[in-house]
Amino acid sequence: MFPGKRGKDATPLTTAAAGAEYHEPHHRMRRVTFLVALAVFAQESTWNFYESQVPPLLREHLTSAAAVGLLMGMDNLLGIFVQPWIGARSDRTRTSWGRRMPYLVVGMPLAAVLFGLIPHAASSLPLLICVMFFYALVANTFKPIAEALVPDFVAPERRSRANAAVKIASSITTIVAALLSLLLVDDHPMIAFAVPSLIMLVSIGVLGVTVRDSRSRAYRSLSEKSTDTEDPDPAPPRVRDTFVDILTDRDRSRLLLLAAIFLFGSAWASSRSLLTPYGMEALDLSRGDAGSLGLPSGVAFILAAYPAAVYAERFGRLRVMTVGMTTFAAAMLLGTVAQNAVGTMAALCVGAAGGACFLVNAVVVLWNLAPSPHVFAAYGGLYTVSWTGGGFLGPALVGAMVDVTGWPLMLLDIGLVVALSIVVVTRIGKPAWRAESTLVE
Protein backbone atom coordinates (compact mmCIF):
# COMPACT_ATOMS: atom_id res chain seq x y z
CA MET A 1 0.00 0.00 0.00
CA PHE A 2 1.07 3.55 -0.55
CA PRO A 3 1.57 5.32 2.78
CA GLY A 4 -0.18 8.56 1.84
CA LYS A 5 1.96 10.89 3.97
CA ARG A 6 2.51 14.56 3.30
CA GLY A 7 5.86 15.04 4.98
CA LYS A 8 8.54 13.28 6.94
CA ASP A 9 6.58 13.13 10.20
CA ALA A 10 3.04 13.37 8.85
CA THR A 11 0.37 10.86 9.70
CA PRO A 12 -1.63 9.16 6.95
CA LEU A 13 -4.32 11.37 5.50
CA THR A 14 -7.95 10.38 5.75
CA THR A 15 -10.63 11.29 3.27
CA ALA A 16 -12.07 13.72 5.80
CA ALA A 17 -8.70 15.41 6.17
CA ALA A 18 -8.38 15.68 2.44
CA GLY A 19 -11.82 17.23 2.35
CA ALA A 20 -10.75 19.90 4.82
CA GLU A 21 -7.69 20.70 2.73
CA TYR A 22 -9.65 21.09 -0.46
CA HIS A 23 -12.80 22.58 1.03
CA GLU A 24 -14.69 25.17 -1.00
CA PRO A 25 -17.77 27.19 0.01
CA HIS A 26 -20.99 25.36 -0.77
CA HIS A 27 -22.19 28.02 -3.21
CA ARG A 28 -18.97 27.71 -5.22
CA MET A 29 -19.20 23.90 -5.20
CA ARG A 30 -22.77 24.12 -6.50
CA ARG A 31 -21.74 26.60 -9.20
CA VAL A 32 -18.82 24.47 -10.35
CA THR A 33 -20.95 21.34 -10.25
CA PHE A 34 -23.42 23.02 -12.60
CA LEU A 35 -20.65 24.13 -14.96
CA VAL A 36 -19.00 20.69 -14.96
CA ALA A 37 -22.41 19.20 -15.72
CA LEU A 38 -22.70 21.67 -18.61
CA ALA A 39 -19.34 20.54 -20.01
CA VAL A 40 -20.32 16.89 -19.70
CA PHE A 41 -23.66 17.68 -21.33
CA ALA A 42 -21.81 19.21 -24.29
CA GLN A 43 -19.51 16.20 -24.65
CA GLU A 44 -22.20 13.58 -24.25
CA SER A 45 -24.57 15.37 -26.65
CA THR A 46 -22.24 14.26 -29.43
CA TRP A 47 -21.32 10.88 -27.94
CA ASN A 48 -24.93 9.77 -27.47
CA PHE A 49 -25.95 10.79 -30.97
CA TYR A 50 -22.77 9.16 -32.28
CA GLU A 51 -23.68 5.85 -30.65
CA SER A 52 -27.28 6.13 -31.82
CA GLN A 53 -26.82 7.10 -35.48
CA VAL A 54 -23.36 6.02 -36.61
CA PRO A 55 -24.21 2.26 -36.52
CA PRO A 56 -26.84 2.66 -39.27
CA LEU A 57 -24.25 4.49 -41.37
CA LEU A 58 -21.86 1.57 -40.91
CA ARG A 59 -24.57 -0.97 -41.72
CA GLU A 60 -24.94 0.63 -45.15
CA HIS A 61 -21.51 -0.89 -45.85
CA LEU A 62 -21.32 -3.86 -43.45
CA THR A 63 -23.65 -6.80 -42.73
CA SER A 64 -21.93 -8.26 -39.65
CA ALA A 65 -23.18 -7.03 -36.28
CA ALA A 66 -19.82 -7.99 -34.77
CA ALA A 67 -17.97 -5.76 -37.28
CA VAL A 68 -20.30 -2.85 -36.55
CA GLY A 69 -19.87 -3.39 -32.80
CA LEU A 70 -16.10 -3.54 -33.18
CA LEU A 71 -15.94 -0.24 -35.08
CA MET A 72 -18.34 1.37 -32.60
CA GLY A 73 -16.01 0.27 -29.81
CA MET A 74 -13.02 1.98 -31.45
CA ASP A 75 -13.52 5.15 -29.40
CA ASN A 76 -13.36 3.12 -26.20
CA LEU A 77 -10.15 1.40 -27.31
CA LEU A 78 -8.60 4.80 -27.90
CA GLY A 79 -9.88 5.92 -24.51
CA ILE A 80 -8.01 3.12 -22.76
CA PHE A 81 -4.71 4.63 -23.88
CA VAL A 82 -5.53 8.31 -24.33
CA GLN A 83 -7.60 9.14 -21.25
CA PRO A 84 -5.19 8.04 -18.47
CA TRP A 85 -2.31 9.72 -20.32
CA ILE A 86 -4.10 13.02 -20.89
CA GLY A 87 -5.44 12.97 -17.34
CA ALA A 88 -1.93 12.61 -15.92
CA ARG A 89 -0.66 15.32 -18.28
CA SER A 90 -3.45 17.62 -17.12
CA ASP A 91 -2.48 16.96 -13.47
CA ARG A 92 1.02 18.24 -14.26
CA THR A 93 -0.10 21.28 -16.29
CA ARG A 94 0.28 24.73 -14.73
CA THR A 95 -1.12 27.80 -16.53
CA SER A 96 -2.84 31.03 -15.55
CA TRP A 97 -6.07 29.39 -16.81
CA GLY A 98 -5.51 26.30 -14.69
CA ARG A 99 -4.67 22.72 -15.58
CA ARG A 100 -8.00 21.62 -17.11
CA MET A 101 -9.42 24.51 -19.13
CA PRO A 102 -6.66 24.80 -21.76
CA TYR A 103 -7.42 21.26 -22.94
CA LEU A 104 -11.16 21.88 -22.99
CA VAL A 105 -11.11 25.13 -24.97
CA VAL A 106 -8.92 23.55 -27.67
CA GLY A 107 -10.33 20.03 -27.81
CA MET A 108 -14.07 20.63 -27.69
CA PRO A 109 -14.35 22.97 -30.71
CA LEU A 110 -12.13 20.67 -32.80
CA ALA A 111 -14.25 17.65 -31.84
CA ALA A 112 -17.41 19.58 -32.74
CA VAL A 113 -16.10 20.21 -36.26
CA LEU A 114 -15.08 16.57 -36.75
CA PHE A 115 -18.44 15.34 -35.49
CA GLY A 116 -20.27 17.55 -37.98
CA LEU A 117 -18.25 15.95 -40.81
CA ILE A 118 -19.41 12.38 -40.06
CA PRO A 119 -22.57 12.32 -42.26
CA HIS A 120 -20.63 13.95 -45.13
CA ALA A 121 -18.19 11.02 -45.07
CA ALA A 122 -20.89 8.32 -44.94
CA SER A 123 -20.78 7.51 -48.67
CA SER A 124 -17.33 5.93 -48.33
CA LEU A 125 -16.54 3.34 -45.65
CA PRO A 126 -12.79 4.14 -45.45
CA LEU A 127 -13.51 7.88 -45.22
CA LEU A 128 -16.23 7.31 -42.62
CA ILE A 129 -13.90 5.20 -40.48
CA CYS A 130 -11.18 7.86 -40.83
CA VAL A 131 -13.47 10.66 -39.59
CA MET A 132 -14.77 8.41 -36.79
CA PHE A 133 -11.19 7.71 -35.71
CA PHE A 134 -10.12 11.36 -35.54
CA TYR A 135 -13.33 12.42 -33.80
CA ALA A 136 -12.87 9.66 -31.20
CA LEU A 137 -9.20 10.55 -30.77
CA VAL A 138 -9.85 14.26 -30.16
CA ALA A 139 -12.94 13.70 -28.01
CA ASN A 140 -11.06 11.26 -25.79
CA THR A 141 -8.37 13.85 -25.09
CA PHE A 142 -10.77 16.04 -23.13
CA LYS A 143 -13.45 13.56 -22.05
CA PRO A 144 -11.96 12.85 -18.56
CA ILE A 145 -10.72 16.38 -17.92
CA ALA A 146 -14.04 18.12 -17.30
CA GLU A 147 -15.02 15.55 -14.67
CA ALA A 148 -11.65 16.08 -12.95
CA LEU A 149 -12.92 19.55 -12.03
CA VAL A 150 -15.21 17.88 -9.46
CA PRO A 151 -12.48 16.80 -7.01
CA ASP A 152 -10.63 20.07 -7.73
CA PHE A 153 -13.53 22.14 -6.36
CA VAL A 154 -15.91 19.77 -4.52
CA ALA A 155 -15.20 18.37 -1.05
CA PRO A 156 -15.27 14.55 -0.63
CA GLU A 157 -18.48 14.53 1.42
CA ARG A 158 -20.32 16.18 -1.50
CA ARG A 159 -18.80 14.27 -4.41
CA SER A 160 -21.44 11.54 -4.65
CA ARG A 161 -24.19 14.09 -5.14
CA ALA A 162 -22.01 16.15 -7.48
CA ASN A 163 -21.39 12.99 -9.50
CA ALA A 164 -25.14 12.39 -9.59
CA ALA A 165 -25.63 15.88 -11.08
CA VAL A 166 -23.00 15.14 -13.72
CA LYS A 167 -24.67 11.83 -14.60
CA ILE A 168 -28.04 13.58 -14.84
CA ALA A 169 -26.55 16.02 -17.35
CA SER A 170 -25.16 13.08 -19.29
CA SER A 171 -28.54 11.40 -19.30
CA ILE A 172 -30.27 14.52 -20.61
CA THR A 173 -28.17 14.15 -23.74
CA THR A 174 -29.74 10.73 -24.26
CA ILE A 175 -33.07 12.52 -24.54
CA VAL A 176 -31.55 15.09 -26.89
CA ALA A 177 -30.12 12.34 -29.11
CA ALA A 178 -33.45 10.51 -29.15
CA LEU A 179 -35.37 13.67 -30.08
CA LEU A 180 -32.93 14.44 -32.87
CA SER A 181 -33.34 10.89 -34.15
CA LEU A 182 -37.12 11.16 -34.00
CA LEU A 183 -37.48 14.64 -35.52
CA LEU A 184 -34.57 15.13 -37.91
CA VAL A 185 -32.64 12.00 -38.88
CA ASP A 186 -35.01 10.54 -41.46
CA ASP A 187 -35.51 13.81 -43.37
CA HIS A 188 -32.54 16.04 -42.44
CA PRO A 189 -29.55 13.86 -41.41
CA MET A 190 -26.95 16.59 -41.97
CA ILE A 191 -28.78 19.05 -39.72
CA ALA A 192 -29.27 16.32 -37.10
CA PHE A 193 -25.49 15.93 -36.78
CA ALA A 194 -24.93 19.69 -36.82
CA VAL A 195 -27.12 20.33 -33.77
CA PRO A 196 -24.91 18.43 -31.23
CA SER A 197 -21.86 20.16 -32.69
CA LEU A 198 -23.51 23.53 -32.10
CA ILE A 199 -24.43 22.53 -28.54
CA MET A 200 -20.79 21.69 -27.86
CA LEU A 201 -19.56 25.01 -29.25
CA VAL A 202 -22.05 27.03 -27.18
CA SER A 203 -21.29 25.06 -24.01
CA ILE A 204 -17.53 25.46 -24.22
CA GLY A 205 -18.08 29.18 -24.85
CA VAL A 206 -19.98 29.47 -21.56
CA LEU A 207 -17.47 27.29 -19.71
CA GLY A 208 -14.47 29.16 -21.08
CA VAL A 209 -15.85 32.53 -19.94
CA THR A 210 -16.92 31.43 -16.45
CA VAL A 211 -14.37 28.87 -15.17
CA ARG A 212 -10.74 29.30 -14.19
CA ASP A 213 -9.66 26.17 -12.39
CA SER A 214 -6.47 27.98 -11.36
CA ARG A 215 -8.74 29.50 -8.70
CA SER A 216 -9.68 26.13 -7.21
CA ARG A 217 -8.35 25.29 -3.76
CA ALA A 218 -6.76 22.11 -5.10
CA TYR A 219 -4.79 24.02 -7.75
CA ARG A 220 -3.67 26.68 -5.26
CA SER A 221 -2.62 24.01 -2.80
CA LEU A 222 -0.52 22.27 -5.43
CA SER A 223 1.12 25.56 -6.41
CA GLU A 224 1.95 26.34 -2.77
CA LYS A 225 3.35 22.87 -2.14
CA SER A 226 5.56 23.04 -5.23
CA THR A 227 7.33 26.09 -3.70
CA ASP A 228 7.45 24.74 -0.13
CA THR A 229 10.98 23.37 0.33
CA GLU A 230 10.42 22.35 3.96
CA ASP A 231 7.35 20.16 3.37
CA PRO A 232 7.05 19.54 -0.37
CA ASP A 233 4.14 17.56 -1.69
CA PRO A 234 5.31 14.10 -2.83
CA ALA A 235 4.74 13.14 -6.44
CA PRO A 236 1.78 10.76 -6.84
CA PRO A 237 2.57 7.15 -7.78
CA ARG A 238 2.45 6.23 -11.43
CA VAL A 239 -0.68 4.52 -12.75
CA ARG A 240 1.38 1.41 -13.43
CA ASP A 241 2.61 1.25 -9.82
CA THR A 242 -0.92 1.72 -8.53
CA PHE A 243 -2.21 -1.13 -10.69
CA VAL A 244 0.62 -3.42 -9.51
CA ASP A 245 -0.37 -2.62 -5.92
CA ILE A 246 -3.98 -3.62 -6.67
CA LEU A 247 -2.93 -6.73 -8.59
CA THR A 248 -0.62 -8.05 -5.86
CA ASP A 249 -2.81 -7.21 -2.85
CA ARG A 250 -4.16 -10.28 -1.04
CA ASP A 251 -7.48 -8.46 -0.65
CA ARG A 252 -9.01 -8.75 -4.12
CA SER A 253 -11.76 -6.19 -3.51
CA ARG A 254 -10.32 -3.45 -5.71
CA LEU A 255 -9.42 -5.85 -8.52
CA LEU A 256 -12.88 -7.43 -8.43
CA LEU A 257 -14.51 -4.00 -8.49
CA LEU A 258 -12.51 -3.07 -11.59
CA ALA A 259 -13.61 -6.34 -13.20
CA ALA A 260 -17.26 -5.58 -12.38
CA ILE A 261 -16.90 -2.09 -13.86
CA PHE A 262 -15.49 -3.65 -17.03
CA LEU A 263 -18.37 -6.13 -17.33
CA PHE A 264 -21.15 -3.68 -16.58
CA GLY A 265 -19.51 -1.20 -18.93
CA SER A 266 -19.67 -3.87 -21.62
CA ALA A 267 -23.39 -4.35 -21.10
CA TRP A 268 -24.16 -0.63 -20.85
CA ALA A 269 -22.24 0.23 -24.02
CA SER A 270 -23.92 -2.60 -25.91
CA SER A 271 -27.38 -1.43 -24.88
CA ARG A 272 -26.56 1.99 -26.35
CA SER A 273 -24.45 1.22 -29.42
CA LEU A 274 -26.59 -1.62 -30.78
CA LEU A 275 -30.03 -0.28 -29.85
CA THR A 276 -30.80 1.41 -33.18
CA PRO A 277 -30.01 -1.64 -35.36
CA TYR A 278 -31.90 -3.79 -32.82
CA GLY A 279 -34.98 -1.63 -33.29
CA MET A 280 -34.65 -1.83 -37.07
CA GLU A 281 -33.97 -5.58 -37.25
CA ALA A 282 -35.98 -7.04 -34.36
CA LEU A 283 -38.83 -4.52 -34.10
CA ASP A 284 -39.07 -3.50 -37.78
CA LEU A 285 -38.82 0.23 -37.00
CA SER A 286 -37.47 2.99 -39.20
CA ARG A 287 -34.02 4.35 -38.46
CA GLY A 288 -35.41 7.48 -36.81
CA ASP A 289 -37.97 5.60 -34.70
CA ALA A 290 -35.37 3.03 -33.64
CA GLY A 291 -32.98 5.82 -32.65
CA SER A 292 -35.64 7.31 -30.37
CA LEU A 293 -36.21 4.12 -28.35
CA GLY A 294 -33.91 5.43 -25.62
CA LEU A 295 -35.85 8.67 -25.11
CA PRO A 296 -37.97 7.60 -22.09
CA SER A 297 -35.00 5.83 -20.49
CA GLY A 298 -33.13 9.13 -20.37
CA VAL A 299 -35.91 10.53 -18.21
CA ALA A 300 -35.84 7.43 -16.02
CA PHE A 301 -32.09 7.83 -15.47
CA ILE A 302 -32.51 11.48 -14.51
CA LEU A 303 -35.18 10.62 -11.95
CA ALA A 304 -33.12 7.77 -10.47
CA ALA A 305 -29.63 9.33 -10.33
CA TYR A 306 -29.96 11.56 -7.26
CA PRO A 307 -31.92 9.01 -5.18
CA ALA A 308 -29.24 6.45 -6.10
CA ALA A 309 -26.66 8.70 -4.45
CA VAL A 310 -28.80 9.38 -1.36
CA TYR A 311 -29.78 5.74 -0.82
CA ALA A 312 -26.16 4.67 -1.29
CA GLU A 313 -25.09 6.98 1.54
CA ARG A 314 -27.78 5.43 3.73
CA PHE A 315 -27.61 1.72 2.86
CA GLY A 316 -24.13 1.31 1.39
CA ARG A 317 -22.91 1.84 -2.16
CA LEU A 318 -22.08 -1.77 -2.97
CA ARG A 319 -25.54 -2.89 -1.86
CA VAL A 320 -27.28 -0.22 -3.94
CA MET A 321 -25.05 -1.05 -6.93
CA THR A 322 -25.96 -4.74 -6.70
CA VAL A 323 -29.66 -3.99 -6.53
CA GLY A 324 -29.31 -1.72 -9.55
CA MET A 325 -27.39 -4.33 -11.57
CA THR A 326 -30.00 -6.97 -10.75
CA THR A 327 -32.73 -4.56 -11.85
CA PHE A 328 -30.89 -3.93 -15.12
CA ALA A 329 -30.58 -7.66 -15.85
CA ALA A 330 -34.27 -8.22 -15.08
CA ALA A 331 -35.17 -5.36 -17.40
CA MET A 332 -33.28 -7.02 -20.27
CA LEU A 333 -35.31 -10.18 -19.69
CA LEU A 334 -38.51 -8.11 -19.67
CA GLY A 335 -37.56 -6.51 -22.98
CA THR A 336 -36.92 -9.92 -24.53
CA VAL A 337 -40.33 -11.19 -23.48
CA ALA A 338 -42.27 -8.04 -24.39
CA GLN A 339 -40.67 -7.62 -27.80
CA ASN A 340 -42.31 -4.54 -29.26
CA ALA A 341 -41.58 -0.82 -29.21
CA VAL A 342 -43.55 -0.13 -26.02
CA GLY A 343 -42.13 -3.15 -24.20
CA THR A 344 -38.60 -2.24 -25.24
CA MET A 345 -38.96 1.35 -24.04
CA ALA A 346 -40.40 0.14 -20.73
CA ALA A 347 -37.51 -2.29 -20.29
CA LEU A 348 -34.98 0.41 -21.09
CA CYS A 349 -36.58 2.71 -18.50
CA VAL A 350 -36.31 0.07 -15.78
CA GLY A 351 -32.77 -0.75 -16.91
CA ALA A 352 -31.73 2.92 -16.86
CA ALA A 353 -32.97 3.30 -13.29
CA GLY A 354 -30.95 0.25 -12.28
CA GLY A 355 -27.93 1.42 -14.24
CA ALA A 356 -28.01 4.77 -12.43
CA CYS A 357 -27.37 2.95 -9.16
CA PHE A 358 -24.15 1.59 -10.63
CA LEU A 359 -22.93 4.60 -12.60
CA VAL A 360 -23.40 7.11 -9.78
CA ASN A 361 -21.62 5.03 -7.13
CA ALA A 362 -18.97 2.80 -8.74
CA VAL A 363 -16.19 5.38 -8.99
CA VAL A 364 -16.95 6.63 -5.46
CA VAL A 365 -16.53 3.08 -4.09
CA LEU A 366 -13.20 2.86 -5.88
CA TRP A 367 -12.08 6.17 -4.34
CA ASN A 368 -13.15 4.92 -0.90
CA LEU A 369 -11.07 1.74 -1.33
CA ALA A 370 -7.98 3.79 -2.21
CA PRO A 371 -5.20 3.57 0.42
CA SER A 372 -4.46 7.28 0.18
CA PRO A 373 -5.86 10.51 -1.29
CA HIS A 374 -2.61 10.76 -3.25
CA VAL A 375 -3.82 8.03 -5.63
CA PHE A 376 -7.34 9.35 -6.32
CA ALA A 377 -6.34 10.51 -9.80
CA ALA A 378 -4.68 7.17 -10.55
CA TYR A 379 -7.79 5.32 -9.39
CA GLY A 380 -9.91 7.56 -11.60
CA GLY A 381 -7.66 6.55 -14.49
CA LEU A 382 -8.11 2.86 -13.69
CA TYR A 383 -11.87 3.36 -13.55
CA THR A 384 -11.71 4.95 -17.00
CA VAL A 385 -9.63 2.07 -18.38
CA SER A 386 -12.06 -0.52 -16.99
CA TRP A 387 -15.19 1.29 -18.18
CA THR A 388 -13.88 2.15 -21.64
CA GLY A 389 -12.35 -1.31 -22.00
CA GLY A 390 -15.81 -2.74 -21.46
CA GLY A 391 -17.20 -0.16 -23.85
CA PHE A 392 -14.77 -1.32 -26.52
CA LEU A 393 -15.18 -5.09 -26.18
CA GLY A 394 -18.83 -5.16 -25.06
CA PRO A 395 -20.49 -4.17 -28.36
CA ALA A 396 -18.23 -6.56 -30.28
CA LEU A 397 -18.95 -9.40 -27.81
CA VAL A 398 -22.69 -8.85 -27.77
CA GLY A 399 -22.62 -8.34 -31.55
CA ALA A 400 -20.95 -11.73 -31.93
CA MET A 401 -23.62 -13.27 -29.68
CA VAL A 402 -26.27 -11.63 -31.89
CA ASP A 403 -24.64 -13.16 -34.98
CA VAL A 404 -25.26 -16.56 -33.34
CA THR A 405 -28.59 -16.04 -31.57
CA GLY A 406 -30.20 -13.40 -33.80
CA TRP A 407 -31.29 -9.81 -33.13
CA PRO A 408 -34.50 -10.77 -31.22
CA LEU A 409 -32.34 -12.11 -28.34
CA MET A 410 -29.94 -9.16 -28.13
CA LEU A 411 -31.34 -7.83 -24.84
CA LEU A 412 -31.08 -11.29 -23.29
CA ASP A 413 -27.46 -11.48 -24.43
CA ILE A 414 -26.80 -8.18 -22.65
CA GLY A 415 -28.54 -9.50 -19.53
CA LEU A 416 -26.16 -12.47 -19.41
CA VAL A 417 -23.18 -10.12 -19.33
CA VAL A 418 -24.78 -8.17 -16.47
CA ALA A 419 -25.42 -11.40 -14.55
CA LEU A 420 -21.71 -12.15 -14.72
CA SER A 421 -20.89 -8.69 -13.33
CA ILE A 422 -23.28 -9.33 -10.42
CA VAL A 423 -21.42 -12.53 -9.57
CA VAL A 424 -18.13 -10.61 -9.52
CA VAL A 425 -19.48 -7.90 -7.18
CA THR A 426 -20.82 -10.47 -4.71
CA ARG A 427 -17.29 -11.87 -4.39
CA ILE A 428 -15.85 -8.56 -3.17
CA GLY A 429 -14.48 -8.95 0.35
CA LYS A 430 -16.72 -8.52 3.38
CA PRO A 431 -14.59 -5.69 4.86
CA ALA A 432 -15.32 -3.57 1.80
CA TRP A 433 -19.05 -4.33 2.06
CA ARG A 434 -19.07 -3.41 5.76
CA ALA A 435 -17.13 -0.21 5.13
CA GLU A 436 -19.49 0.87 2.35
CA SER A 437 -22.52 -0.02 4.46
CA THR A 438 -21.43 2.21 7.34
CA LEU A 439 -19.74 5.07 5.51
CA VAL A 440 -21.73 8.30 5.64
CA GLU A 441 -20.22 11.19 3.75
Average per-residue pLDDT for the chain: 79
Q: With 90 as the cut, is the pLDDT of residue 330 above it?
A: yes
Q: With 60 as the cut, is the pLDDT of residue 8 above it?
A: no
Per-residue pLDDT reduced to its tens digit, 407-416: 999 999 999 9
For residues 240 and 190, what is the distance between their CA atoms, to the nearest angstrom? 43
Taking each helix axis from N to C end, the angle separating 341-368 and 275-282, rounded to the nearest 10 degrees, works out to 160
pLDDT at res. 411: 95
For residues 23 and 346, what is the distance between their CA atoms, to the nearest angstrom? 42
Q: With 90 as the cut, is the pLDDT of residue 345 above it?
A: yes
pLDDT at res. 6: 34
R_g over Cα of the chain = 21
Per-residue pLDDT reduced to its tens digit, 120-154: 998 899 999 999 999 999 988 877 777 777 767 76
Residue 197 near residue 115, CB atoms below 8 Å: yes
Per-residue pLDDT reduced to its tens digit, 148-164: 777 677 666 666 677 77
Q: How confident is the model at residue 251 (pLDDT cuts 50, 70, 90)?
A: confident
pLDDT at res. 262: 95
Q: Of 219, 273, 287, nearest to 402 (Cα)? A: 273
- For the chain, the domains span 15-225+238-438
- DSSP one-letter string for 73-93: THHHHHHHHHHHHHHHHHHH-
pLDDT at res. 325: 96
Query: Long-range contact list for 417-422, CB < 8 A, 24+ apart?
Result: 417/263, 417/266, 417/267, 417/270, 418/263, 418/264, 418/267, 418/325, 418/328, 418/329, 418/332, 419/329, 420/263, 421/260, 421/263, 421/264, 421/267, 421/325, 422/322, 422/325, 422/326, 422/329
Q: Choose the weakest-confidence range: 15-29, 199-213, 292-306.
A: 15-29
Q: With 60 as the cut, is the pLDDT of residue 11 above it?
A: no
Q: With 60 as the cut, is the pLDDT of residue 29 above it?
A: yes
For residues 372 and 1, what is the distance between their CA atoms, to the nearest angstrom? 9
For residues 225 and 241, what is the distance between their CA atoms, to the nearest angstrom? 23
Q: Which run of H or E residues covers position 157?
A: none
CATH of 15-225+238-438, one of 3.40.630.90, 1.10.1740.10, 1.20.1250.20, 3.40.50.170: 1.20.1250.20
Give the CA angle between residues 94, 99, 102 to the nearest 5°. Answer: 105
Question: Cα–Cα distances in Å, from 23 out to 13, 93, 151, 159, 325?
Answer: 15, 22, 10, 12, 33
**Verdict on whether the full-model pTM lies above 0.75:** no
pLDDT at res. 12: 34
Mean pLDDT, rounded, for 350-375: 83
For residues 4 and 14, what is the distance between their CA atoms, to the nearest angstrom? 9
pLDDT at res. 242: 74
For residues 392 and 65, what is the distance between their CA atoms, to the nearest angstrom? 14
Q: Choose the weakest-confidence range: 9-13, 27-31, 48-52.
A: 9-13
Is the pLDDT higher at 229 or at 394?
Answer: 394
Alpha helices, H only, 73-214: 74-92, 101-117, 125-147, 149-153, 159-180, 189-210
pLDDT at res. 179: 78
Q: Of 341, 354, 340, nearest to 414 (Cα)? A: 354
Residue 154 near residue 291, CB atoms below 8 Å: no
